[in-house]
Amino acid sequence: MTDLFWPGDERAGDLLSQESFLAAMVRVEAAWLRALVDAQVAPPSTYDDLSGLVSPGDVAIIAASAEGGGNPVIPLVAVLRERLHERDPAVAGWLHRGLTSQDVVDTALVLGLQDAARRMEAEIARQVTALVALAEGHRGSLMAGRTLTQQAVPITFGLKAAMWLQGLLDAADGLAAAAQLPSQVGGAAGTMAESADGDPQRAVDVAARLSEALGLATGPPWHTNRGPITRFADALVGCTDAYGRIANDVLTLSRPEIAELSEPAAPGRGASSAMPHKVNPVLSVLIRRAALTGPALGAQLHLAAAEMLDERADGSWHTEWATLATLARRAVVAASQTSELLEGVSVRDEQMRSTLEGAGAGTDLGATDLIIDTVLERARRFEEPQ
């Protein structure tokens, strides 16, 4: 995907795109058919992996038909049934049996978030490695500490990098906790009454089989308890918060009048359409953009959660889908940009020392080395194989 309104969006690839969301909904329906067969609710002959029935080319027709029922599952099931009838009428009769639209939408969204978590975790691993190298390599690089925009007591760039690292590790912990995502199977009103023809234990078993097939956690229905969604959104915002913190420092320290840091160079990056002499810190600008917009998207999801009612909400549930997709894609884009920034940032030690000497500040660094060591030890534990 590309997006003229969000330069760099292509870094997120097909994450939570309309095409991948459609594929995820089909995946949920296929996994449910398998679960019904494996739990001996449906006959063995009624399983179909639904391959080849729907393609990305069907997005437009399904989207155009979604308004009638307020969600894309209803037209999707209609298309699948119509095409299954041509392949195997018996299977068509079992498709979607025991599910409701919210089960399919929520579980498909969770699959997209699971993909986002994997991508974020891979980028965080790169970022931790880069920051460890910066903290270790520059633990003795003296620079002016700044408070309330003014020069204060001395620090080292190694300490600054360690503080970036500490914020990133905090965000990584939040992401790891939120990434234990559950499937959603509740049926029409969260009772699972339709799942196994009146056998409560079998209904629970079918739901567990679905979760196992999709690599998700299992648990009770969470129709109008949106904790899994808001926790994951908060984790993404925590990541963009940490990235924004880094980008803000780079933006300040790369100002020509300070010139203590500079972004990695790339052909055409940072150019100005009107001022050829400029090289703008574009990576940091775009990372900061994500940090500034992420909290509002997270707040929208909390508002939706607070407005949930009954066993399926009238409108607040519907606001989540595009909001989640936007937040996840923007976080992944920012993560990729932050990795590139940290792996290529130039640190100008001599300029840092010159600025500090010009301020006439002392050189008492307090517990700087001990602080750096503590953060690096935490990073080493993070990097150990789990």
pLDDT digits (tens, 9 = 90+) for 3-53: 999 999 999 999 999 999 999 999 999 999 999 999 999 999 999 999 999
What is the reported pTM?
A: 0.95
Using alpha carbons, select from 87, 88, 100, 98 the residue that is nearest to residue 25. 100
Using alpha carbons, select from 11, 283, 236 the residue that is nearest to residue 1. 11
CA-to-CA distance for 74 and 78, rounded, in angstroms? Answer: 6
Among candidate residues 11, 289, 312, 348, the one labeled active-site is 312
Query: Quick check: 102 pLDDT over 70?
Result: yes
Pull the structure tokens for residue 343: 């792996």
Domain pair 13-97+185-221 / 109-182+223-386, same fold: no
For 102-131, what is the mean pLDDT?
Answer: 98
Determine phi and psi for 154, rounding to 5 degrees.
-70, 150
Output the pLDDT for position 359: 76
For 301-315, what is the mean pLDDT?
Answer: 95
Residues contacting 236, CB < 8 A, separation 6+: 116, 120, 175, 294, 298, 327, 328, 331
How many CA atoms lie within 13 Å of 385's alpha carbon, on the beta-carbon side? 0
Which segment of 106-110, 155-159, 197-201, 378-382 scores lowest on mean pLDDT?
Answer: 197-201
Residue 265: band (very low, low, confident or very high) from pLDDT cuts 50, 70, 90: confident
Query: Quick check: 324 pLDDT over 60?
Result: yes
Output the pLDDT for position 194: 77
Pull the structure tokens for residue 143: 């620079």
Percentage of the chain exceeding pLDDT 70: 97
Residue 272 annotated among the catalytic residues of the structure:
yes
The answer to whether 37 and 48 are in contact (CB under 8 A) is: no
13-97+185-221 homologous superfamily: Fumarase/aspartase (N-terminal domain) (1.10.275.10)
CA-to-CA distance for 153 and 85, rounded, in angstroms? Answer: 75
Query: Quick check: 271 pLDDT over 90?
Result: no
Among candidate residues 45, 55, 272, 346, the one labeled active-site is 272
3-state secondary structure of 261: strand
CA-to-CA distance for 81 and 378, rounded, in angstroms? Answer: 53
- In the chain, where are the structural domains located? 13-97+185-221, 109-182+223-386
Q: What is the pLDDT of residues 274-292, one digit of tens each?
A: 555 667 899 999 999 999 9
Consecutive H or E run containing 288 = helix 282-306
What CATH number should be reported for the domain whose range is 109-182+223-386? 1.20.200.10
* 95, 147, 202, 234, 331 from 90: Cα distances, Å: 9, 71, 22, 44, 43
Q: What is the rounded average pLDDT for all residues in the chain?
A: 94
